[in-house]
A and B are shown apart, each in its own frame.
Chain A
Amino acid sequence: MGSILARMGLCLGMMRLRMTEDKLKVGFYNITGCAGCLLSVIFNEDDLLHVAKIIDIKAFPFIKEKKNDGELDVVFMEGLVASNDDVKVLKEVRKKTKVLVALGACACTGCIPAFRNFIQKENYERKVFLRKLELRDQKPVPIDKHVKVEYYIPGCPPDKNEILTFIKDIVLGKKPRGYDKPVCFECRLNKNTCFLDKKELCLGPITNGNCNSVCINGGLVCWGCRGATPDANFETMISLLKEKGIKAKDIKDRMKTFVGLKLPKEVIR
Chain B
Amino acid sequence: MTVIKLNHITKIEGHASLNLSIKNGKVEVCELQAVEGSRYFEGLLKGRRYFEASEISSRICGICSCAHTVTAIQAIENALGVDVSEQTGLLRELVTIGERIRSHATHLYFLALPDYLGYESALSMAEKYKNELSRALKIIKMGNGIVKVVGGRDLHPVSLTVGGFLKVPSEEELKEIRKELELIKEGTILTGKLFGRLEYPEFVNKTEYFSLVKREEYATLNGDMVSGSKRYKQEEYSKYLKEYHEKYSTANFVVKEGRSYMVGALARVNNSYKSLSSDARKILKSFKIEFPNYNPFVNNFAQAVEIVHFVDRALDICDLLKVKEEPVKKVRLREGHGISAVEVPRGTLWHEYKLDSKGRITYANIITPTTQNLRNLQDDIRAYLPSVMKLSKEKMILEIEKLIRSYDPCFSCSTHFLKVNFV
- A residues lining the B interface (CB < 8 Å): 31-40, 42-43, 45-46, 48-49, 52, 57, 60-67, 80-83, 85-86, 111-113, 115-116, 119, 123-129, 132-133, 136-138, 140, 156-157, 160, 214-215, 217-220, 223, 250, 253, 257
Identify which of B49, B65, B415 contacts A250 (C-beta below 8 A). B49
Is B37's CB within 8 Å of the partner chain A?
yes
Identify which of B40, B137, B153 contacts A49 (C-beta below 8 A). B137
Knowing A40-B155, A49-B126, A125-B43, the reply to whether A35 touches B10 (Cβ < 8 A) is no
Is B382's CB within 8 Å of the partner chain A?
no
- Segment 119-147 of B: residues with Cβ below 8 Å from A: 120-124, 126, 130, 133-134, 137-138, 140-141, 144
Q: Which residues of B contact A65 (CB under 8 A)?
A: 10-11, 120-121
For the complex of A and B, the 8 pairs showing the least CB-CB separation, nearest first, are: A218-B152, A124-B43, A36-B62, A219-B166, A82-B37, A83-B37, A32-B37, A219-B167
Knowing A63-B122, A127-B420, the reply to whether A218 touches B138 (Cβ < 8 A) is no
Q: How far is the CB of A37 from chain B (nearest CB, A)?
A: 7
For the complex, what is the distance from the CA of A67 to the CA of B42, rounded to whole Å?
36
For the complex, what is the distance from the CA of A223 to the CA of B42, rounded to whole Å?
19
Q: Are A34 and B59 in contact (CB under 8 A)?
A: yes
Knowing A63-B123, A65-B121, the reply to whether A220 touches B152 (Cβ < 8 A) is yes
Q: How far is the CB of B390 from chain A (nearest CB, A)?
A: 23
Q: How far is the CB of B141 from chain A (nearest CB, A)?
A: 4
Q: Which residues of A contact B111 (CB under 8 A)?
A: 63
Q: Are B38 and A63 in contact (CB under 8 A)?
A: no
Q: Which residues of A contact B44 (CB under 8 A)?
A: 112-113, 115-116, 119, 123-124
Is B310's CB within 8 Å of the partner chain A?
no
Cβ contacts A to B, 23 pairs, < 8 Å: A33-B62, A36-B59, A36-B61, A45-B141, A48-B137, A49-B134, A63-B122, A63-B123, A65-B120, A82-B37, A82-B39, A83-B37, A119-B47, A124-B44, A125-B43, A129-B423, A133-B418, A133-B420, A218-B151, A218-B166, A219-B158, A219-B166, A223-B55
For the complex, what is the distance from the CA of A40 to the CA of B10, rounded to whole Å?
18
Q: Are A85 and B153 in contact (CB under 8 A)?
A: no
Knowing A61-B8, A85-B37, the reply to whether A129 touches B420 (Cβ < 8 A) is yes
Number of A-B residue pairs with CB-CB distance less than 8 Å in the complex they form? 201
Q: Are A214 and B35 in contact (CB under 8 A)?
A: no
Instruction: Write the chain B residue with the least CB distance to A211.
Output: B153
Q: Are B156 and A156 in contact (CB under 8 A)?
A: yes
Q: How far is the CB of A158 from chain B (nearest CB, A)?
A: 9
Q: How far is the CB of B8 from chain A (nearest CB, A)?
A: 6
Q: Are A45 and B166 in contact (CB under 8 A)?
A: no
Identify which of A63, A85, A157 contacts B156 (C-beta below 8 A). A157
For the complex, what is the distance from the CA of A124 to the CA of B167, rounded to whole Å?
34
Instruction: Write the chain B residue with the least CB distance to A111.
Output: B59
Q: Are B140 and A43 in contact (CB under 8 A)?
A: yes
Knowing A35-B63, A116-B43, A123-B43, the reply to whether A64 touches B37 (Cβ < 8 A) is no
Q: Are B155 and A157 in contact (CB under 8 A)?
A: yes
Q: Which residues of B contact A32 (CB under 8 A)?
A: 15, 36-37, 39, 415
Knowing A124-B44, A219-B152, the reply to whether A63 touches B159 (Cβ < 8 A) is no
Instruction: Write the chain A residue with the least CB distance to B60.
Output: A34
Q: Are A128 and B420 in contact (CB under 8 A)?
A: yes
For the complex, what is the distance from the CA of A37 to the CA of B158, rounded to whole Å?
17
Q: Which residues of B contact A67 (CB under 8 A)?
A: 120
Q: Are B158 and A215 in contact (CB under 8 A)?
A: yes
Q: Which residues of B contact A217 (CB under 8 A)?
A: 152, 167
Q: Are A62 and B140 in contact (CB under 8 A)?
A: no
